[in-house]
Amino acid sequence: MIYIILLLVSFFLTYLIKNYMIKKSFVATVNERSSHTIPTPHGGGIAIAITWFIGLIYIYFIGKIEHSLFYALLIGVIISIVSFFDDIYELSPKIRLIAQAIVAIGGLYFLGGFSNLTFGIFDIQNSILTNIFAFFMIVWFINLYNFLDGINGYAGSEAVFLAIAGFVLFGGNHFLILAVSVLGFLYWNWNKAKIFMGDVGSTLLGYNIAIFTIYYANQEATNFWIWIILFSVYWFDATLTLIRRKLNKEKLSQAHKKHAYQRLTQSGWSHYKVTNYSIGLNLILFSIVYFISNVFLAFVLALIILALSMKFVDSKKRFE
């Protein structure tokens, strides 16, 4: 019952926020980085964040979430608040980075740090190295989720996929809470979007995925690679694009439209088609994780699939 209630809360909150943003003329303007052509209200991620934290607190009080995970996820409220003001006032990169660093440190503190990074043939168990790695991973996940939030339904469908995949593989009411929190918003953002997520939603989702990755990796070291595979559509695109732009000697802080999903839309694909393509790719990656017990073999196979998919994108629209 609680999941239906939260779904409706997210749905109606998004509707109210959409109307308020239109009334106050808080719309995402069209610029050189945009993949949309019509000014559209943003900030729909507020509904996701409010619903998520209500649900999170609820399952905490009924004892359905482990304390360390609860507090690590709860500190994400900081990144949501800062990103909310960033959506409205465009805060400086320094303020955003400080906020991201604070939540990364806080999340790691409540999780007890990142204990072990395994590579199959050897492990890194030095707490200084593993926690430095985890810190930068959290910050990177926050930012790359924000980078990849650019077309209708793309970021929302990714979050729903990861939530459902997490529930199937690991169980946990928090995954269902996340799924319904995003689904209520996704109705208004799917296909022809009536409202965008904004940084307030995308940064929170990126943070949550990073926390899930570390939390479950602390339970079983190979779980780290399961989450890396599940989230690979995003990190592979963002990381490869960053490397390519660096090799092109581009200014990395400059706005661009070179991510795979952006180049597919430039090639003539609709937002709906690109989002469905990513969903299909995610289902393949989930199947790899689900049916292949050797996680390192699964990771190699996932990389091959991702490389082939990127080659396909390059054939539709060359990286320049």
For 263-287, write each residue's pLDDT tens digit: 998 998 988 899 999 999 999 999 9
The DSSP annotation for 179-195 comes to: HHHHHHHHHHHSSS-SS
Helices (H), the chain: 2-23, 45-61, 67-74, 76-89, 93-111, 127-147, 154-170, 173-189, 199-219, 223-230, 232-247, 260-266, 271-291, 295-316
Q: Do the beta carbons of residue 177 and residue 4 sit within 8 Å?
A: no
For 249, the token pair is: 């000697």
pTM for the full predicted model: 0.92
State residue 319's pLDDT score.
81
Largest Cα–Cα separation, the chain:
58
| Residues spanned by the domain of 52 | 2-316
Higher pLDDT, 29 or 202: 202
Count of residues in the chain: 320
pLDDT digits (tens, 9 = 90+) for 99-144: 999 999 999 999 999 988 988 777 888 899 999 999 999 999 999 9
In total, how many domains does the chain have?
Answer: 1
Query: Pick from 195, 194, 190, 185: which is nearest to 10 by CA?
Result: 185
Q: What is the pLDDT of residue 149?
A: 80
- Give the mean model confidence (pLDDT) for residues 82-110: 92
Query: Hey, what are 312's tokens?
Result: 């396909």
